[in-house]
Amino acid sequence: MDDARVWEFERSLWTGGPETYEALIDDQCLMVLPAVPYVYTGRQAIEAVADTPRWSEVAFSEELVVRPEEGLIVLAYKAEARREGQTYVAFCTSTLRRLAHDDWRVVQHQQTVPLAAS
């Protein structure tokens, strides 16, 4: 997957609904998010998204992409998301694993909210 598609994939997870999470988050994924219970499995994250308003827009900066081995992509970036007058800023990492040709899943995601923003 080229870099443009990687960022499109990642953006869809911020703005897409539960069906996006269902399709792109691996059941074995681990996530660390700044909301109780803080550590989520893939299934817990998928279920939590069903009850969470999605972001209407998100902008990424400080984007880094590495491919440590075939079929593995690691991202790091700053996200600035907005919805209905609410703004959220976090530094994030995601790891994508290829299951088959053009079939990728998130196996790790982490968000760190800067202390000044919390």
Domain-wise residue ranges, the chain: 3-117
The pLDDT of residue 78 is above 60: yes
Q: What percent of the chain has pLDDT over 90?
A: 76
pLDDT band for 96, please (50, 70, 90 cuts).
very high
Domain 3-117 architecture? Roll (3.10)
Alpha carbon 8 to its chain centroid, in Å, reads 11
Q: Quick one: which H or E segment has residue 13?
A: helix 3-15
pLDDT band for 118, please (50, 70, 90 cuts).
low
Q: Which of 66, 65, 55, 40 is closest to 90 using CA atoms?
A: 55
pLDDT, average across residues 64-72: 97
The average confidence (pLDDT) of the chain is 92
- Which pLDDT score is estimated for 117? 54
pLDDT, average across residues 59-64: 98
Q: Coil, strand or helix: which one is 33? A: coil
Q: What percent of the chain has pLDDT over 70?
A: 97
pLDDT, average across residues 82-110: 95
Residues 14-46 pLDDT 10s: 999 889 989 999 999 999 988 899 999 988 888
